[in-house]
Structure 1
Amino acid sequence: MFFTSMLTRLAYRWPVLVYAAAWTTILSLTVTAASFAPEVAFVSAISSSSSFSKTCATEGFVRVPLDLPGEMFCFPAHLLGKSKIDQIVPPVFAAVVVGWSACLVRAVGLW
């Protein structure tokens, strides 16, 4: 008796479950694409064939690219250490990516 009543309720909710599964899938794919794009850019920038991976002429300096193509400066390595804000930025970025991906999925019109 319990099993049949549960199947009946599930049958009425089947379209809602499919809708929720579709939303979840598209949202997950959007978040995955948005979060892996910076990683792909970073890995391609530090590859051995990249111009970013060349060393500075002075020992103890780190090469930093700028917005303009081909423009790079060498800064002392001690200026480029971790800071306390490095603990805050990734979760905030993740929240923004999830929020904007939800807006994108909604704008695409999944209904």
Structure 2
Amino acid sequence: MRIILLILSLFTPFSFAGEQTGKIGLFYARASDNLHLIFLEGNHATNKPACAKYSYWLIKDEHSTSGKSQFSQILAAKLANKTVTITGLNTCSRWADGEDINYIVILD
């Protein structure tokens, strides 16, 4: 059963999305358009889509429940100096040159 789940996970749309682990280096919030932009310290992201020309991550929809949750997770991790893993959506819909965040995991 685990092998089947592993094989199926390899073919999901997010299999080729970007992923990066590190501490939050910069957390930028702008009031004029409600933009929330995150840079992680350390290694660059892997498997980012071609549209993601820069190494920042973006909360796709700051007004949604998931966007508010992501904001809270990022802020908590930044204030506590925790390491996180961010995995993208394989899209650049919030801004044309940065990948949208799918999920955030606080590691330590």
For normalisation by structure 1, the TM-score amounts to 0.22
Q: RCO higher in 1 or 2 (8 Å CA, sep ≥ 6)?
A: 2
For normalisation by structure 2, the TM-score amounts to 0.23
| Greater share of residues in strand | 2
| Greater share of residues in helix | 1
